[in-house]
Chains A and B, each alone.
Chain A
Amino acid sequence: MSFVFYLLAALTVAGGLAAVLLKNTVHCALALTVAFAGLAFLYLNLDAQFAGFAQILVYIGAVAILVVFAILLTKGSETPKDGVFSKTWLAGLAVAAGVFAVLGWAVLQTAPMLPKATPAPAVTVGQIGNALVDRYVLPLEIVAVLLTVALIGAVIVALHEKEGTR
């Protein structure tokens, strides 16, 4: 467990916490990007170069921006008077805590049997590409279709129903 790992983990978790705790929605979104960045660095720390960069490209470059747009379009940026947390926040928190308890317990239970540190696998982008078009070609196609459908669907859902516009 290197120092770098602890640093990145702290960064990521802090970003996540800020993302769900902050009052101002836009701040939440920005904190989310911090968490994403932390995750990307964790991937790099796991020798998953491609996944790390893809994470930055997709999440920071697209998803975060998307969230921000949504916030501004729904004027959610101003904080409501009656608190940002729902009435049942306590129950929710309890459940989340329960989930973490179970997961953490499971991890610690199984920690001894987990594999020890292994040599870093040398995976080039070329291998990933070949795997994509050969072993994983069907999932690839399906994801392509899914993305197209999602694109069209999102556009249609967000369209004005007013005739005259589009």
Chain B
Amino acid sequence: MQESISFTPQLAASPITGILWLIPAVPMVASGAMALLKQAKRKTAANLAIGSLSVSLLLSLVAFAHVVSNWANGVATRETVNFTWLQFGSANVDLGWVLDPLSAAMLVMVSFVGLLIFIYSLGYMEHDENFTRFFCFLSLFAGSMLGVVIANSLLLLFMCWELVGLTSYLLIGFWYQKPAAAAAAKKAFITTRVGDVFFLLGIVWLFSQTGTLLFYNHGAGSMEAGALSALLTQPAALGLTAAGAIGLLIFAGAAGKSGQFPLHVWLPDAMEGPTPVSALIHAATMVAAGVYLIARVYPLMHAGALTGGTTTALTVVTWVGAFTAVFAALIAVAQNDIKRILAYSTVSQLGYMMAGLGMGGVAVGMFHLITHAFFKALLFMGAGSVIHGCHEEQDVRRMGGLKDKMPLTFITYAIGMLALCGFPLLFSGFWSKDGILEAARHWSVARTPFYMLVFGALLTAFYMTRQVAYVFFGESRGEKTAHESPKVMTTPLAILAFFAVALGAIGTPAWPWFRAFLEGGATRFDMQGFAEPGLMLLMGTSTVVVFLGLGLGWTIYGGKSPKAEEPDALERAMPVVWGWLRDRLYVDELYGGTVIAFYGWWGRVADWLDRRVWGGLVAGVAGLFAGWARLNRFLDTNVVDGSFDKGCEELSTKGGLLARVQSGRVQSYLRILALAVVVLAAILIWSSRA
């Protein structure tokens, strides 16, 4: 019997891997249940969402523990469960899920941060009448994101990827009454779609080359030596190997999701969504999905690299990342919407991650991803709490002096901000960012990215200081008086703040636990890690840079509290540049002026063609036929009819006779049928024997 079941998977080495699919399945089922709920059943919805996600968190922790224990026994975990989904001809499409350090770490991060944000939203969305729908979307998102994480097949990953895109669309446009929100949702959807097209192309190409979309399948997967070497021999255009080209296509998709330079425009607008959404999707998890994707297909990207060297794909990733980092940081300096500032900082941090992946490998990029997920979620939720406290005010110039009114928010926010700036030694951001800088310093291709990233760090410290100075210091400039947010919102803040500090401990040069965990080496604590030549110097530089940024920011914005109307301090200094930055370097306008304008123009042309040319033609033809028809009618009425009518009468009388046959009796029909069969059979047999 066992054999007759075609899709029996090669059963996982451990029970936990066998039921890994439950991790995404549970929230998805929950969201399905919520979709059926009445809007009034807020409590049920909240319980369902949080309960299901905590189940996922529990399972993720079990999986993580399993991986860690394996690792402690010196076994690198990579357990997969694969099964055939479709089969056409000889090719069959397999799906499956994988448990390895990468997915385990990501699972825990996503479900943990997600859970905190769910709890936070309880408070934040309290007064929204579509509470239930909100949680339905949230859990659907959580489910599909976890699906992306565990996917062992590029196709499954792509499905979940699209689901994630859909939920992000739904959630950005959650307040669809606001035209801005609706527009932002559309923009996000379409922009990411541009990337996804390339991604899909990459998938198809990969399938056509390797015949499988599984990452790991006991040596037969597309991320394993056999397939990769095959890909390397395949030349593609522009002196790229097939591996490189596919890598670039996939990177285009990743760039779309995690807002890398050409496709970053949707992310800042996405802030129209509710703040928990911004925190969950557009800071912690979804935008990180792109980075995660690159980490997943890293073998492909890295394939064919000479020892210590790099590949075209990785170089592109690096440059795009580094450029995005600086570019977005620059724009962030001149924004006034508290969430927009964070959004641009997210874009720039994603740039850091990409650069880290490009230059330092999976461990560096992923470490920054994890730490960033925590402190950026913290920042966003802090911002949310501020907005909540200031009665939906988002303009930093209309806030101020909040540090006394909302102390808890202030402290946690400060911690997040310092972590983001990479304040030395204490904060996780420092270590992860230093990891990237360290990698950049050793990069063989060029030195420029290093300087760019350092400059980016300076800018980061600067704009964060500006923001904090605006929001929390000086005296209040808002109309209404602010108030501290409820416990249900501040508690997650505190927890996240703790991790924003503590996570640094697992990634210091002295004890690179995380890197060892991902790459499966042994690790122990020794101070010699710092003794590596130039490392101290590097740490010194970044420290100096950070303090420089903080100092600059403070000297310019600290203490004083300009009126909302009067121009910004920097604006007075250099209005032109400021204008550019405030207008986001005109990227949107550029797209508007080129692509969109072209479509608009083309649409008008088509419209004109329709109205004038084709329409005219049609009208002309129609007129022609109309005239012909008139002529006919004349002939008919005067010539044909007489004789024709006679003929008709004849026919109807004869037809009446014929209609007798149609007696309406079933059996008569049946009889005729049988007769026909008899005759037919007789003829057949007769002919056959003759």
Contact string against B for A residues 85-126, beta-carbon threshold 8 Å, 1 for contact and 0 otherwise? 010100110011011001101100100000000000000000
A39 CA / B675 CA spacing, docked (Å): 27
* Contact of B667 with A95 in the complex, beta carbons under 8 Å: no
A99 pairs with B685, CB closer than 8 A: no
User: A86: nearest residue on chain B (CB-CB)?
Assistant: B667
Asked if B609 lies at the interface with its beta carbon under 8 angstroms from chain A, I say no
Q: Do B681 and A103 have beta carbons less than 8 Å apart?
A: yes
Q: With A95-B675, A95-B678, A96-B674 in contact, is A109–B4 under 8 Å at CB?
A: no
Is A134's CB within 8 Å of the partner chain B? yes
Chain A residues lying within 8 Å of B674, measured Cβ to Cβ, are 95-96, 98-99
Which single member of A88, A95, A109, A130 contacts B685 (CB below 8 Å)?
A109
Residue of B whose beta carbon sits closest to that of A92: B671
Q: Report which of B667, B675, B678 forms a contact with A88, defined as CB distance below 8 A.
A: B667
B70 on interface, CB distance cutoff 8 Å: no
Residues of A within 8 A of B675 (CB): 95, 98
Interface string of B663-682 (1 = CB under 8 A from A): 00101100100110110011
A99–B682 CA distance with the chains assembled, in angstroms: 10
User: B674's closest neighbor in chain A, by CB?
Assistant: A95
Q: Kindly state whether residue B689 has any CB partner on chain A within 8 Å.
A: yes
With beta carbons under 8 angstroms apart, the residue of B671, B681, B682 that contacts A91 is B671
- B665, B678, B681 pick with most chain A CB within 10 angstroms: B678
Interchain CA distance A86-B671 in the complex, whole Å: 13
Q: Are B677 and A88 in contact (CB under 8 A)?
A: no
In the complex, are the beta carbons of A88 and B4 less than 8 A apart?
Answer: no
Closest to A130 in B: B4
Nearest CB on A from B402, distance (A): 63
- Give complex CA distance A88, B689 in Å: 35
Complex: how many Å from CA A112 to CA B677? Answer: 24
A133-B4 contact in complex given A88-B668, A92-B671, A102-B678, C-beta closer than 8 Å? yes
Evaluate contact between A88 and B671: CB separation under 8 angstroms. yes
- Interface of chain A residues 121 through 140 with chain B (CB within 8 A): 129-130, 133-134
Q: CA of A97 to CA of B404 in the docked complex: distance in angstroms?
A: 106
In the complex, chain A residues whose CB is within 8 Å of the CB of B682: 102
- A98 CB contacts on chain B under 8 angstroms: 674-675, 678
B678 in contact with A99 (CB, 8 Å): yes
Q: State the CA gap A109–B671 with chains docked (Å).
A: 25
Q: How long is the Cα–Cα vector from A134 to B665 in the complex, in angstroms?
A: 44
Contact B678 A106 (CB under 8 A): no
Taken together as a complex, chains A and B put the C-alpha atoms of A95 and B668 apart, in Å, by 11
Instruction: Sort chain A's interface into a size bin.
Output: 10 to 19
Chain B residues lying within 8 Å of A103, measured Cβ to Cβ, are: 681
Of chain B, the residue at the smallest CB distance from A103 is B681
- Are B677 and A99 interface neighbours, CB within 8 A? yes
- Total contacts A-B at CB 8 Å: 33
What's the nearest-Cβ distance from chain B to residue A116, in Å?
21
CB contacts under 8 Å to A, within B1-49, are 4
User: With the chains together, A103 CA to B671 CA distance in Å?
Assistant: 16
Across the interface, which residues of B come within 8 angstroms of A105, CB to CB? 685
Inside 8 A of A109's CB, which chain B residues have their CB? 685, 689
- Contacting residues of chain A (6-37) with chain B, CB-CB under 8 angstroms: none
Q: Mark A57-95, 1 if CB is under 8 A from B, else 0.
A: 000000000000000000000000000001010011001
**What A residues does B689 contact at CB under 8 A?**
109
Beta-carbon contacts of B124-153 to A below 8 Å, as 1s and 0s? 000000000000000000000000000000
The chain A residue with its CB closest to the CB of B682 is A102
Min CB distance, B627 to chain A, in Å?
52
Determine the chain A residues whose CB is within 8 A of the CB of B681 once the complex forms.
102-103, 106
**Cβ of B308 to closest chain A Cβ, rounded Å:** 53
Known contacts being A102-B682, A106-B681, is A95 close to B671, with CB within 8 Å?
yes
Q: Which of B632-676 contact A (CB under 8 A)?
A: 665, 667-668, 671, 674-675
In the bound complex, CA of A88 to CA of B670 (Å)? 12
CA distance A98 to B672 in the complex (A): 12
Measured CB to CB, the closest approach of chain A to B664, in angstroms, equals: 13
- Tell me which residues across on chain B come within 8 A of A88, comparing CB atoms: 665, 667-668, 671
Q: How far is the CA of A98 from the CA of B681 in the complex (A)?
A: 11
Cα separation A99 to B4 with both chains bound (whole Å): 45
Residues of chain A contacted by B668 (CB below 8 angstroms)? 88
Interchain CA distance A86-B681 in the complex, whole Å: 27
- CA A67 – CA B261 in complex, angstroms? 74
Contacts of B678 in A (CB 8 A): 95, 98-99, 102
Distance A96 CA – B682 CA, assembled complex (angstroms): 14
Alpha-carbon distance A106/B684, docked complex (angstroms): 10
Closest CB in chain B relative to A125 CB, distance in Å: 13
Judge whether B685 and A92 touch: CB under 8 Å: no
When chains A and B are docked, how far (Å) is the Cα of A92 from the Cα of B689? 29
B661 to chain A, nearest CB (A): 13
Can you list 27 A-B contacts with CB-CB less than 8 angstroms, sorted by A residue number?
Answer: A86-B667, A88-B665, A88-B667, A88-B668, A88-B671, A91-B671, A92-B667, A92-B671, A95-B671, A95-B674, A95-B678, A98-B674, A98-B675, A98-B678, A99-B674, A99-B677, A99-B678, A102-B678, A102-B681, A102-B682, A102-B685, A105-B685, A106-B681, A106-B685, A109-B685, A129-B4, A134-B4
B interface residues (Cβ-Cβ under 8 A, vs A): 4, 665, 667-668, 671, 674-675, 677-678, 681-682, 685, 689
What 8 A-B pairs are tightest by C-beta distance, nearest first? A98-B678, A95-B674, A102-B681, A106-B685, A102-B678, A95-B671, A99-B678, A102-B682
**19 more A-B residue pairs beyond the given contacts A98-B674, A130-B4, A133-B4, with a C-beta to C-beta distance below 8 A:** A86-B667, A88-B665, A88-B667, A92-B671, A95-B674, A95-B675, A96-B674, A98-B675, A98-B678, A99-B677, A99-B678, A102-B678, A102-B681, A102-B682, A102-B685, A105-B685, A106-B681, A109-B689, A129-B4
